[in-house]
Structure 1
Amino acid sequence: MTLSGTFATVPDLLRLVAVPVFAWVAIRDVKTRRVSSSVWIPFSLLGAVLLVWDGVLAWNAGGGRWLAFLVPAAISLGFVVPIAYLFWWFGGFGGADAKALLVIALFFPTFPQYAVGSWTLPLSITPIGAFSFTILTNAVLVGVTIPVALAIRNAAAGRIAPVMFIGWPTAWNRVPQTHGSLLETPAGLTRRGLDLDALRMYLRWRGLSLTEIRDQPGRYRDPTTLPDEPNPPTDGAVTASGPPLGDGGDVEMPELTDESVGTDPWGADAFLADIEGTAYGTTPDELRDGLEVLATEETVWISPGTPFLVPVFVGLVIALVYGDLLLGTFF
């Protein structure tokens, strides 16, 4: 709540640091799909300090001001935080997305207010009063527009397909530098295909490039060509440093037989058994299907998997200026 003759309270002014920080993490998430946990630790601590600060101000003001703080703060911490955790638990959010929402719940428990001339922003304040919930609903609404935009883009280019709402065609040679997942198997289009981070892990583990796979798919389909000492797979990030993607030197071409290939085509089982942890939940069959497609197709459908941090940032900006896109329309 703004004070007479001031732009905003000190806690609300400090909350504006969230705008450049979320802009930076959104850009980084788009480019690398990686946001370090170290970003959220100081942000969480600052949010906790601001929460207590607001509580003290509301307590000192007494009366309805304390209740106006307590109810939305309870909703923010008791509703938004569990939602973020549950969505992460069930795979709806990535780890960075969940941490971002946890920070927002601490950082924005109540509606901040900023006096700009004769206006007070946000323009619309909902009866619920939990600003973190407003940011979340705004982010969801912004996120819903992304499939629509993809479908319009594909339809305008004449690309009509069942997956036109979640992806677009990509040349095979761009796949190693592309984020997202493959939307094709040898049987046709699918809504869940090979994670491209897992593909990069596999290629780095074998010390191969996708070009080499395509040049000699029969050779590398045979698990007897797996390296005796595999390379570190890294985490599959496009920007991750890994071994040169060469063919590992001159290796004598083994005799290919149905029996040898049939034990573990592409060495998918061996790869997943050798690495620590999992390759983003990738199964041997998903890896094999993805390699079969990428070994032959010139263009494949890829889902970009737009990070939720982008809608969160846009939802934050909308919330600070306008308020709640959904509830603000009705109240």
Structure 2
Amino acid sequence: MIEWLATFLTSSPTPDLLRLVAVPVFAWAAYRDIRTRRVPNRTWLPLALLGIALLAWDIYRASTGDMVGGLIARERFYLRVALSLGMVGSIGYLFYWFGGFGGADAKALIVLAVLFPTFPSYMFPNTALPLTRTTVGVFSLSVLSNTVLVGAAYPVFVTLRNALSGHRAPIMFIGKPIRAADAVTEYGSLLQNPDGFSRGGLDLDALRMYLRWRGTTLAAVRAEPERYRDPASLPDEPNPPGDGSIPDGDDLVGSRQVDAATDGGTVDDGDAANAEETDADTEAVDAAAYDDPWGAETFLDDIEGSAYGTTAAGLRDGLDVLAAEDVVWISPGMPFIVPMFVGLVVTLVYGDLFFELVTLLV
């Protein structure tokens, strides 16, 4: 063990050893992303600065000829750096710009592009990591491809879990069923509206913002939906809506503490099969009875900024579903930083899984 550690510390390039700081940072960010779906901006700045310093170090070594392989190795190094920054970094920014990534996801990918433009080397007595390398040699690109592979496995897991638990429906491939009363304790978005299944349902962060703004709970809304549909029930002085996260012990999202009258029931086969249908005992709501049902427009007009792109119609539809149904389907939505962390570890140890799979098939 001592020999392995000594070889690792003395034979591995110092810049590559320093780059390993990213592993515990990404592990912590993945944990935060699972628990809160929020990673502080301060997480990425130190890594970005470290990446810039190490990249400058490597460029200095290449420019002074202190790089194994001579001119060809230097030219490949510069090309790989350009590809990492120009392609992988741009992918992170563009996906954020078009709404495919959250801000933390984009920053994480840009940091990887700066911190790992080329494959690092970690030396041990009888081997070296990563075990395999691609011809292109852009490490951040390999992390991205491994991240996509890990992320693609998640919908398969969701589908199998739904099938094994008896929750079979057309939406079982992308969603999971939960008690409607527990919606405020989950992250994701509704995959339903009053007409049935929908990919553009209410974001549950926006739901929590709305409930905090009104100073009420989902349990209360479910117990007296007609009262809360009436915009006259809106508070004279609404509360700050917050950011939609799930703080521990917040009584405004404590819908699990409900009485028998508002209990959402358990998720069973019959409930899941009927989740797309409105309860037969619940009469349809005439939205025209109020100028602003649920006070949705008032809420969106009052808050500063956007409630995750939620529209008044989308908020009303989501509240109608949550007030009427016992079981709803939501998007499980695995945080992107989680597969990115797994992809980073896999790439550091093994290399590019996608590249190896393609190599085997060719």
C-alpha distance 259-306 of structure 1, shift in aligned 2 (>3 A): closer
**How far off its partner does 1:162 sit?**
1.9
Q: How does 1:146-157 map to 2 (within 5 A)?
A: 146-157=154-165
Q: How does 1:20-35 map to 2 (within 5 A)?
A: 20-35=24-39
**How far off its partner does 1:84 sit?**
0.8
Matched residues in 2 for 1:170 and 1:265: separation? 25
Hey, what does 1:39 align to over in structure 2? 43
C-alpha distance 6-34 of structure 1, shift in aligned 2 (>3 A): same
**How far off its partner does 1:68 sit?**
2.8
Matched residues in 2 for 1:279 and 1:160: separation? 32
Hey, what does 1:109 align to over in structure 2? 117
| Equivalent residue letter for 1:270 | T
1:179-231 deviation digits (Å, cap 9, x = unpaired): 11111111111122100000000000000100110111000100111111111
Matched residues in 2 for 1:148 and 1:130: separation? 29
Q: 2:58 aligns with which of 54, 59, 63?
A: 54
Matched residues in 2 for 1:299 and 1:190: separation? 15
Matched residues in 1 for 2:323 and 2:252: separation? 20
* 1:231–1:243 Cα contact (<8 Å) kept: no
Hey, what does 1:268 align to over in structure 2? 296
**How far off its partner does 1:4 sit?**
11
* 2:246–2:253 Cα contact (<8 Å) kept: no
Q: 2:309 aligns with which of 281, 298, 301?
A: 281
Hey, what does 1:252 align to over in structure 2? none
Matched, 1:319 2:347: yes
Hey, what does 1:304 align to over in structure 2? 332
Partner of 2:328, secondary structure, is strand
Matched residues in 2 for 1:75 and 1:278: separation? 35
The TM-score with structure 2 as length reference comes to 0.84
Matched residues in 1 for 2:145 and 2:83: separation? 14
Matched, 1:143 2:147: no
Hey, what does 1:292 align to over in structure 2? 320
1:73-113 deviation digits (Å, cap 9, x = unpaired): 01001111111111111111111000000000000000001
Matched residues in 2 for 1:44 and 1:97: separation? 14
Matched residues in 2 for 1:330 and 1:162: separation? 32
| Equivalent residue letter for 1:269 | E
| Equivalent residue letter for 2:213 | W
**How far off its partner does 1:328 sit?**
2.8
Aligned Cα RMSD in Å?
A: 2.1
| Equivalent residue letter for 2:208 | R
| Equivalent residue letter for 2:293 | P
* 1:232–1:243 Cα contact (<8 Å) kept: no
* 2:8–2:123 Cα contact (<8 Å) kept: no
Matched, 1:94 2:94: no
Partner of 1:170, secondary structure, is strand
Q: How does 1:204-215 map to 2 (within 5 A)?
A: 204-215=212-223
C-alpha distance 187-219 of structure 1, shift in aligned 2 (>3 A): same
The TM-score with structure 1 as length reference comes to 0.91
Matched residues in 1 for 2:208 and 2:348: separation? 39
Consecutive unaligned residues in structure 1, runs of 5 or more: 247-256
Consecutive unaligned residues in structure 2, runs of 5 or more: 1-6, 255-284
Hey, what does 1:169 align to over in structure 2? 177
Partner of 1:231, secondary structure, is coil
| Equivalent residue letter for 1:88 | Y
Matched, 1:184 2:183: no
| Equivalent residue letter for 1:215 | A
Hey, what does 2:267 align to over in structure 1? none
Hey, what does 1:73 align to over in structure 2? 81
Partner of 1:163, secondary structure, is helix
1:228-283 deviation digits (Å, cap 9, x = unpaired): 1111000111128978579xxxxxxxxxx979842011010110011001100001
**How far off its partner does 1:134 sit?**
0.5
Matched, 1:198 2:206: yes
* 2:231–2:293 Cα contact (<8 Å) kept: yes
Hey, what does 1:230 align to over in structure 2? 238
Partner of 1:134, secondary structure, is helix
Matched residues in 1 for 2:27 and 2:134: separation? 25
Q: Report how many residues are paired.
A: 319
Of 43-52 and 321-330, the range deviating more from structure 2: 321-330
1:36-66 deviation digits (Å, cap 9, x = unpaired): 1011111100010011111122223242331
Partner of 2:173, secondary structure, is coil
Hey, what does 1:16 align to over in structure 2? 20
C-alpha distance 265-69 of structure 1, shift in aligned 2 (>3 A): same
**How far off its partner does 1:115 sit?**
1.2
Partner of 1:169, secondary structure, is strand
C-alpha distance 277-38 of structure 1, shift in aligned 2 (>3 A): same
Which runs of structure 1 show a deviation greater than 3 angstroms over 4 or more consecutive aligned residues?
3-7, 240-246, 257-261
Matched, 1:159 2:187: no
Identity rate of aligned residues, in percent? Answer: 56
Matched residues in 2 for 1:240 and 1:282: separation? 24
Matched residues in 1 for 2:287 and 2:9: separation? 82
* 2:8–2:124 Cα contact (<8 Å) kept: no
